[in-house]
């Protein structure tokens, strides 16, 4: 062990509060996957390009391979593990990816859905172009993006229907 001081980090991950001591150089993605066993966020490139490691931190989509865990101290974090509806059924986005074949190998999917989740919160009615620009930080090597865009459009439609809005209240 090094003599660098370990720092206490408290996070709320998918509604659950956790506290750990970490080495300052620990990246958030390693903290989530290795310390907390939250393995939904993937390590694709490790160079801030692919977005497979995307999580929501205080309402922002961030690439958790490019954030130190200590920087996230006190943050509210949502990962793919926190995406399903409270009763365990699939969220509109998850259902969209299923219905529209928005995934093939699935490696990019946790990052894609987590990013799309934040995108739809900020812009509930995005145009196709806004969706494409909105997921520009997430790479998919399989689908060609077409069905990912359709999946997000499916979710936006579902979420904008008055019945689902009432049901969510």
Partner 1 sequence: MIPGEFTYHRPSSVAEAVAILVSHGDEARPLSGGHSLIPMMKLRMAAPEHLVDLGGIADLKGISEDGGAITIRAMTTQHELIESDLLSEKLPIIRETSLLIADPQIRYLGTLGGNVANGDPGNDMPALMQCLDASYVLTGPDGNREVAARDFYEAAYFTALAPEEILTAVKIPTPPAGHGWAYEKLKRKVGDYATAAAAVMLSMTGGTVTSCSVALTNVADTPLYAAEAGDILNGSTLDETTVGKAVAAAEAITDPASDGRGPAEYRTKMAGIMMQRALARAAERASA
Estimate to the nearest angstrom the gap between the alpha carbon of 11 and the chain centroid: 16
Question: Per rule CB under 8 A, is residue 133 in the interface with partner 1?
Answer: yes
Q: Reduced to 3 states, what is the DSSP secondary structure of residue 80?
A: helix
Give one DSSP letter per residue of 121-166, joined into a string.
Answer: HH-SS--HHHHHHHTTT---SSS-SHHHHHHHHHHHHHHHSHHHHH
Task: Please tell me whether residue 156 binds ligand FES under the rule CB under 6 A.
Answer: no
Of 61 and 147, nearer to ligand FAD (C-beta) is 61
Can you read off the two tokens belonging to residue 67? 């954030």
| Closer Cβ to ligand FAD, 68 or 91, answer by number | 68
Torsion of CA 114, 49, 106, 151, to 10 degrees: 50
Q: Does 25 bind ligand FAD (CB under 6 A)?
A: no
Q: Does 115 bind partner 1 (CB under 8 A)?
A: yes
Query: Using an 8 Å Cβ cutoff, are 158 and 95 in contact?
Result: yes
Among positions 15, 16, 34, 48, the unique one binding partner 1 when judged by CB under 8 A:
48
Q: Which of 10, 60, 98, 164 binds partner 1 (CB under 8 A)?
A: 60
**Footprint on this chain of ligand FAD (rule: CB under 6 A):** 48-49
**Footprint on this chain of partner 1 (rule: CB under 8 A):** 2, 4-5, 7, 23-25, 27, 30, 46-49, 51, 54, 60-63, 66-68, 70-71, 115, 119, 133-134, 136-137
């Amino acid at each position: 062990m090094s003599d660098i001081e370990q720092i206490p980090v408290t996070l709320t991950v998918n509604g659950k509060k956790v506290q750990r001591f970490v080495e300052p150089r620990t990246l958030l993605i390693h903290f989530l996957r290795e310390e907390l066993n939250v393995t939904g966020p993937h390590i694709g490139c490790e160079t801030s390009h692919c977005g497979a490691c995307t999580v929501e931190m205080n309402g922002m989509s961030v690439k958790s391979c490019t954030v130190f865990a200590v920087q996230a101290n006190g943050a509210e974090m949502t990962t793919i593990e926190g995406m399903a509806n409270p009763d365990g059924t699939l969220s509109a986005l998850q259902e969209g990816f299923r219905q529209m074949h928005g995934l093939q190998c699935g490696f990019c999917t946790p990052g894609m859905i987590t990013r799309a989740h934040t995108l739809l919160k900020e812009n509930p009615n995005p145009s196709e172009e806004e969706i494409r620009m909105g997921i520009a930080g997430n790479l998919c090597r399989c689908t060609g993006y077409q069905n990912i865009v359709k999946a997000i459009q499916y979710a936006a439609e579902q979420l904008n229907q008055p019945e689902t809005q009432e049901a969510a209240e």
